[in-house]
Structure 1
Amino acid sequence: MAVATEINSSSDQLATELVSIVGADAVLTETEALRPFECDGLTAYRELPLMVVLPSSISQVQDVMKACSRRKVPVVTRGAGTGLSGGALPLPNGVLLSLTRMNNILEIDAAARTARVQPGVTNLSISDAVRHLGFYYAPDPSSQIACSIGGNVAENSGGVHCLKYGLTVHNILQLKVVTVDGQLMTVGSEGLDSPGFDLLALMTGSEGMLGVVV
């Protein structure tokens, strides 16, 4: 009983700290609210997380990661939850970090044929935003109407178009990533090549094991 009480107290303290970071409406702890997050597209495996946190900015993601790292609480990052590999399966003693509220297209550069977007933006939203320019976002998994760019990066997603245009890793130039201890780093560059190790390729397809794509 003493152990259970200690765990519950620690969980309550973490929830209180996370509420101070993202707001009460962005921290879910009730079973009914957690249920939609118990699995991704691989529904054969289900697990309720300790809590779900829905940040809306990079700084909030950093602060959430710092808080969880300090308390040694594991974090699983979730995009739209359409993946079929179980990559967004929660841990019962961990926080599920959902990035769906970070869903803005920040910049479109028609001349460079690039877009800068937040991780919660869907593939189809990007194609819709540039259709009037005669462009579209090439990687096209069957869930492109719902799947998010952050999830695409985590899984290195592709579709029929990948036979011609390659996978996600072949269609991105630069990523911002928050590390497990809340540090913000940039990998890749605005050019086709960047000096040093190819950390962009390392991060793409790593399923959130190396950091949170923001």
Structure 2
Amino acid sequence: MDENEDEKNAAEVHVSNMRIKKYEEYRDSSESDWILGNFIRELEASALSEIPPHFKHPTMVGPILPVNVLQRTSTKEDTCLHWLNAQKPKSVLYVSLGSVATVKKDQLQELALGLGAAGLATLWVVREDLTGEKGTSLPEGFLQRTQERIRIVSWSPQLLVLSHGAVGGFLTHCGWNSIIEALSMSVPLLAWPQLGDQYMNAEVSVTKWGAGLKLNNFEKKLVRRKHN
């Protein structure tokens, strides 16, 4: 048997084992007397109504957030919060596209120029790998022109940021955790989904829940800046 055949068989065994494990989890759940779920009944009633009747006593206990949400533990956290402390209440736009999604260099530059033109105090998380390349690829001179209003960091303590009184809005990729965290802290969303279930998350949170607004024309390959 050659190496490729061995790899194929190993993959089939892995998939089979995963199916068995998932079935066992499903079976064990259906045999439980109580099932606790990290769901928000008031927001997700229609989805919860689809839970099969043989699941006994489904009890929704969400949203569940880390108990240390208001504890500061690192220099990076202090850097973000120190800057926020100097801003007016509800005046800051927090911008983060999560830890996975990437955007093209020209899109990053359009976003930067749009944020610069908006005139808002902004805390912007720009990961080093946000464009999939080394470096941030920001427009030339952008940091110097906007340093009084826009604070750029490579990472932020998101829950601490969203719970801060200076934050008045959240431009987000609509990852589920980000949405729940923002809702829990009563921060309106500006939805800009990037991939996968984020498009559905954006639609539900904005259209059904009224938790914010969707970025216009986000389906296009390049979302352009616009300033009236």
**TM-score (structure 2 length as normaliser):** 0.25
Q: Higher Cα Rg: structure 1 or 2?
A: 2
TM-score computed with the length of structure 1 as normaliser: 0.26
